Copies of this chain bind each other. A is one copy, B any other.
């Protein structure tokens, strides 16, 4: 598995100090390169002394039948779940990779990374990943944010296709366990996040993201004050959108990572 790791100057200067870590999960079709090159999180992470990890979005070259047939399923589309369906379950375990395997390898290889101060963010499918990893692992991450996230995959075409493929069409309880909106309904205690969505984003307009469903769940649970969903006028789904709000997201996580 390839990835990119950004280390801020404080991690490499003559007297390096332990630095907190922000995981950035990418969206459909992306690798760990896209946001490292175009998202511009590093400029702001550098100022705060935060490391940024950009993992890949799926296994590559696993030789699973059909893995390269769609842009929204298989390669580049791991959806941050551990698959249970026969063809996929040996290789497509992005949930375990991001929450366990990668941190273990990374924190043991780079002693300067502070494994006790970790936050998570992501875009689109990666925003879904960030939200479910946070909600499924209370206390593991200090904070979560997302850009144009898929917030209710069991009710959108992308999510339905992916969960059918990875979990099977019938296993609806598995589906709900990997749906941010469903997970929020079961969440106990306070909850806080920052979410940006562009109103010119075609995937938002076509019902793939469904942030209103996530907001409704927050209201149902009485945590709506902590859920800041900002509808950014006319912004689309692109890296221009991401890079424009990267500063706000890094600053948001810095509040939790540096206190």
Contact = CB atoms under 8 A, between A and B. Distances in A.
B38 A37 contact: yes
A38 B242 CA distance: 12
A243 interface: yes
A235 interface: no
Interface in A2-48: 37-38, 40, 42-43
Interface in A185-214: none
A215 to B, nearest CB: 28
Contacts of A43: 40, 243-244
Contacts of A37: 37-38, 239
Interface in A114-138: none
Contact of A243 (B40, B239, B240, B244): B40
Contacts of A244: 43
Contacts of A42: 240
A44 to B, nearest CB: 10
Nearest to A37: B38
Nearest to A40: B40
A35 to B, nearest CB: 11
Given A37-B37, A38-B38, A43-B244, 7 more contacts: A37-B38, A37-B239, A40-B40, A40-B43, A40-B243, A42-B240, A43-B243
Interface of A: 37-38, 40, 42-43, 239-240, 243-244
10 contacts: A37-B37, A37-B38, A37-B239, A38-B38, A40-B40, A40-B43, A40-B243, A42-B240, A43-B243, A43-B244
Nearest 8 pairs between A and B by C-beta? A37-B38, A40-B40, A38-B38, A37-B239, A40-B243, A40-B43, A43-B243, A43-B244
